[in-house]
Each structure stands twice: as C-alpha cells, then as structure tokens.
Amino acid sequence: MSAPQAVRDAKPATKQAPGLAAKVLIRAENVAKIYTMGEQTVRALDGVTFEIAEGDFVAIMGTSGSGKSTMMNLIGALDVPTTGTLLIDGRDISKMDADDLAEMRNRSIGFVFQQFNLLARTPALRQVMLPMLYAHPRPVDPEGRARQRLSQVGLGDRLDHHPRQLSGGQQQRVAIARALVNDPKILLADEPTGALDSKTSEEIMGLFSKLNEEGLTVILVTHEADIADYAHRRVTFRDGKIIDDVRQEKRATKHAAAGGAS
C-alpha cells in the first residue's frame, strides 16, 4: 500500500522508533513542568525525554496525576515546559510567546476533546470553519474546505445541523473535521471516546486509524487500554515520568476501514 503502511511495517521492533525513513515530528528533551501552589511544588512532568515520528499513532496512557495531561498540553502548545526543550515540527515551543503558541496550534495541531467542545447553536459547517477564522493568511475557500472535511468524516449531508441535532458520534466527527481543517501535522485527541458508547467509540477509533493510514500523526491521550490498543505505540506515564514505551500492532488494521464514508 502507501507510504504510511511502509512506515508502520518498518517500525515494530524498535522502541524509540524514529530512525529509518520517518522524520521526527516531536522531540522532548528532559522536559519538566513544575507547578508552585503556595509553598508546595508539584513536578507534573519530571524530566521526560522522547520522540514521536511523523506518521506515528501514539497512545499516551497513565492514571490521573501521572503527567499525561500535562504532556498533552505541552504537545498541544497550550503551555510551555518549565525546563527542557520541546521541539514540535522543528520549532522549540519553550521559547515561544502566547501569539506564537496560538499560531502553532492553529497551523500544526488539531484538537479533539472528550466533550467535543462544539459551539452551541452553530451549524456543523460553521463549526469546522472556526479554525480558519484565526488562520493567517486566510484560506482561499474556507467554506469549500470545511465542506470537504465534513464529507471526509462522513457528514457531508449534515452541514446545517446544529450540535443538538447530532448524535454524540456525529458531534465528535464534526470536531474531528474541525481539527483537520487547517491540515495540521498532529491530531491530538484527549479521551476522544470518553463520552461515547462502545460501538460509536469503535467507529471513531476506526476513523483515527484511517486518518493515520493516510499519513497523519495521531496522538491519543487515554486511560482506557482497549482504546490505546488502536495505536501503534503506547507510552505510559506515572508520577511525571515515562515508565513504559512499547510498539504494538493489534487492532488497528481490523478497524481501519470502519471510519468515514469518503
């Protein structure tokens, strides 16, 4: 099949798989995030080093308080590390100001949230157009692009539907279309199936697998093992450190086609 397939085949054995053909998309070097609450300091991340290659499908796991959410916030350029360097697509976010971070999020990262985070009383098409409002320069045909992304996630016939008129799975698909609309480098999903039933969860995960096969880097933050099974690599956090980092190849192929309609 295509290049992503080859990338996947090339990797299973190695742990920190970057090597070979794939370009390193995210590189964390000794990243720490320390919160100070009164006299107490909390080391949410305590010297984390790892790399994620372009085209990979990574599940970040860990219990509450393990540091996985903090890691996600950093990878999502929502926050900057206290110490260490974090390169995303070749740029060090630890040296960025708020505007640069916003631009990075706009251009390189697509967010998918547990609670979908759609705007109330806004049709699907407008939801998907939202990130393009903040893009510089503005895309040429924002509406056409949004329409195309909605078809891509199988909602080509729901352009005018408001969140209330859509099922949970459909809402999450709108959110995924929104995440894709600016052609990001990374799709960053935070418990994307946490609010969905198991059948819908499978469909959504199938969609992620399909997008990953098409070449998109997908990072999944979850505490559910069977959701993490869809990924090719599983990184587990505990107490602000990576305690496990394994390659896996289980369910991905089986559900790859279950996703969108396009």
Partner 1 sequence: MSLWDSLGVAWTALRSNLLRSILTTLGIIIGVASVIVLVAVGSGARSEVEKQIASLGSNMLVIFSGSSRVMGRSAGAGTDRPLSEADMTAIREKVAGVAAISGQLNGSGPVVFGNNNWTTTLSGVHADFLSVRDWPVVSGRDFIQQDIRGTAKVAIIGQTVVKQLFQGSDAVGSTIRVKNTPFLVIGVLAIKGPSSFGRDQDDLVLLPMTTARNQILGKSTLTTDQAGQIYIKFDPATDLKDAQEEIEAVMRARRKIQPGAEDDFNVRNLAEFMKARTEVLSTMTYLLAATSITSLIVGGIGIMNIMLVSVTERTREIGLRMAVGGRRRDIMRQFLVEAITLCLIGGLIGTALGVGAASAVASAAQWPVLISPGVILIALAAAGITGVFFGFFPARRAAGLNPIEALRSE
Q: Does the footprint of partner 1 cover residue 81 (CB under 8 A)?
A: no
Q: Does the footprint of partner 1 cover residue 91 (CB under 8 A)?
A: no
Show the DSSP H helices in the chain as ranges.
3-10, 68-75, 98-108, 124-133, 142-152, 168-180, 198-213, 225-228, 252-255
- Give the nearest distance from C-beta 99 to partner 1 in angstroms: 5
Q: Does the footprint of partner 1 cover residue 143 (CB under 8 A)?
A: no
Binding residue (CB under 8 A) for partner 1 from 102, 159, 195, 258: 102
Q: Which amino acid is located at 34 in the chain?
A: I
Rounded Cα distance between 30 and 95, Å, is 15
Binding residue (CB under 8 A) for partner 1 from 8, 149, 178, 255: 178
- Give the nearest distance from C-beta 238 to partner 1 in angstroms: 21
Q: Does the footprint of partner 1 cover residue 133 (CB under 8 A)?
A: yes
Q: Does the footprint of partner 1 cover residue 106 (CB under 8 A)?
A: yes
Burial 13-22 (b: 16+ CB within 10 A, else e): eeeebbeeeb
Pairing of strands 83-88, 24-37: antiparallel
Which residue, 105 or 234, is less far from partner 1 as judged by CB? 105
Binding residue (CB under 8 A) for partner 1 from 98, 164, 198, 199: 98
**Structure tokens that stand for 175 in this block:** 């959110």
- Give the nearest distance from C-beta 6 to partner 1 in angstroms: 32
- Give the nearest distance from C-beta 219 to partner 1 in angstroms: 15
Binding residue (CB under 8 A) for partner 1 from 29, 46, 51, 103: 103
**Structure tokens that stand for 116 in this block:** 């979908």
- Give the nearest distance from C-beta 171 to partner 1 in angstroms: 13
How deeply is 41 buried, as exposed, middle or buried, from its count of CB atoms within 10 A (0-12, 13-18, 19+)? exposed
Binding residue (CB under 8 A) for partner 1 from 4, 131, 163, 206: 131
- Give the nearest distance from C-beta 118 to partner 1 in angstroms: 8
Which residue, 128 or 227, is less far from partner 1 as judged by CB? 128
- Give the nearest distance from C-beta 158 to partner 1 in angstroms: 19
Measured CA distances, 86 to 21, 92, 154 (Å) = 22, 5, 35
Q: Does the footprint of partner 1 cover residue 222 (CB under 8 A)?
A: no
- Kindly give, in sequence order, each residue whose CB lies less than 8 Å from that of residue 199, ignoring residues fewer than 6 positions away: none
Rounded Cα distance between 224 and 210, Å, is 20
The torsion angles phi and psi of 31, rounded to 5 degrees, stand at -80, 130
Q: Interface residues with partner 1 (CB under 8 A)?
A: 73, 76, 78-79, 98-99, 102-103, 105-107, 111, 113, 117, 119-122, 130-131, 133-135, 138, 178, 182
